Amino acid sequence: MAVTLQNLTQQLEGSFQEVGRKPDEELVEFWKNQISFTERWFQEKGTSQALLNSQWLQYKRDKAAETKNRGNAELTSGNNKAAILWFTLAILLNPNDHIFYSNRSAAYANLGDWNNALKDAEKTVELAPNWAKGYSRKGLALFFLHRYDEALQVYQAGLNTEPNNESLKQGLEQVQAKITSQNHNALGEEMLAKKQSC
């Protein structure tokens, strides 16, 4: 049987319906492989398939939006692991949408997985350097990774893009307070050490 766009989208659609509200790693891997196969199929067919290619791209955008909405519902319900999988599917379908990375960063942050929250926040800022929320997510992850000087720089960079953003202002104040506290503690320890050596 010849591979057609309809075959490919039906396979994806079947797996999409099957997952319901419980995506798993196996489904993510299936979609990753299926999307990769489809992309190669289009490359082999060449430009004569331009109409089908545009239909495929539209299908991917629609499915990415649908998976993002499911991820948002899971995130709102506190089901962060499920939200991460939905946002991962959305990213597989449309890896250039900064909101998918931002939302997955939030889900990782809710789980205390600050390293992955940071990776997704960095990708968010890379894709949308003028979007304040990306800087807010990145600054928060750096703060909880105890990388205060970097967090300070990120919050300041975010405020350069959106000077009145309250989330960025609060983050900046929080990290400045932490740095000041650390400096006072270090100064106090230094003075105590000098006093003890006299």
The 3-class secondary structure across 133-156, one letter per residue, is HHHHHHHHHHHHCCCHHHHHHHHH
Asked whether residue 108 is assigned to any structural domain, the reply reads: no
Task: Note the pLDDT of residue 1.
Answer: 35
Q: Is residue 2 pLDDT above 50, yes or no?
A: no
Q: Quick one: CA torsion of 149, 100, 69, 94, rounded to 10 degrees?
A: 180
**119 and 174 together in one domain:** yes
Q: Is residue 102 in a domain?
A: no
pLDDT digits (tens, 9 = 90+) for 87-116: 988 888 888 999 999 999 999 999 999 999
pLDDT confidence bin for 21, thresholds 50/70/90:
very low
- Using a 10 angstrom Cβ sphere, with 0-12 exposed, 13-18 middle and 19 or more buried, the burial of residue 153 is middle
Check whether 142 has a pLDDT greater than 90: yes
Cβ atoms < 10 Å from Cβ of 44: 9
pLDDT bracket for residue 40 (50, 70, 90) = confident
- Is the same domain home to 62 and 138? no
- Whether 109 is in a domain gets the answer no
Q: Is 79 helix (H, G, I), strand (E, B) or coil?
A: coil
Domains contained in the chain, number: 2
Judge if 8 and 79 occupy the same domain. Answer: yes
78: tokens are: 């506190």
Using the predicted structure, report yes or no on whether residue 122 has a pLDDT greater than 60: yes
DSSP state for residue 103 in the 8-state scheme: H
The residue with greater pLDDT, 85 or 145, is 145
Residues 13 and 50 in one domain: yes
Domain end position, chosen among 31, 61, 95? 95
Q: From residue 55, how far is each of 1, 9, 52, 66, 72 by CA, in Å?
A: 21, 10, 5, 16, 26
- What residue spans of the chain are helical by DSSP H? 5-19, 25-45, 50-77, 80-93, 98-110, 114-127, 132-144, 148-161, 166-197
pTM: 0.77
Average pLDDT for 128-156 = 97
**Model confidence band, residue 54 (pLDDT cutoffs 50, 70, 90):** confident
| 126 and 74 housed in the same domain | no
If you average pLDDT over every residue of the chain, what do you get? 82
Indicate whether 53 and 137 sit together in one domain.
Answer: no
Per-position b or e across 3-16, b if 16+ CB within 10 A of its CB: eebeebbeebeebb
Mean pLDDT of 139-156: 97
In a shared domain, residues 157 and 120: yes
Do 90 and 119 share a domain, yes or no? Answer: no
Domain stops at, among 60, 95, 130:
95
Banded pLDDT at 144 (limits 50, 70, 90): very high
Residues, the chain? 198
Residues 62 and 152 in one domain: no
Q: Are residues 20 and 87 in the same domain?
A: yes
Is 103 inside a domain boundary?
no
CA distance 194 to 85: 54
Alpha-carbon distance of 86 to 90, in angstroms, equals 6
Q: Domain of 180?
A: 114-198
Q: Has residue 159 been placed in a domain?
A: yes
For residues 119 and 65, membership in a common domain is answered with no
pLDDT of residue 7: 59
Q: Is the pLDDT of residue 184 over 90?
A: no
- Please check the confidence at residue 193 and state whether its pLDDT lies above 50: yes
Q: How far apart are the C-alpha atoms of 64 and 16, rounded to whole Å?
A: 11
Q: What CATH number corresponds to the domain at position 178?
A: 1.25.40.10
Last residue within a domain, chosen from 67, 95, 123:
95
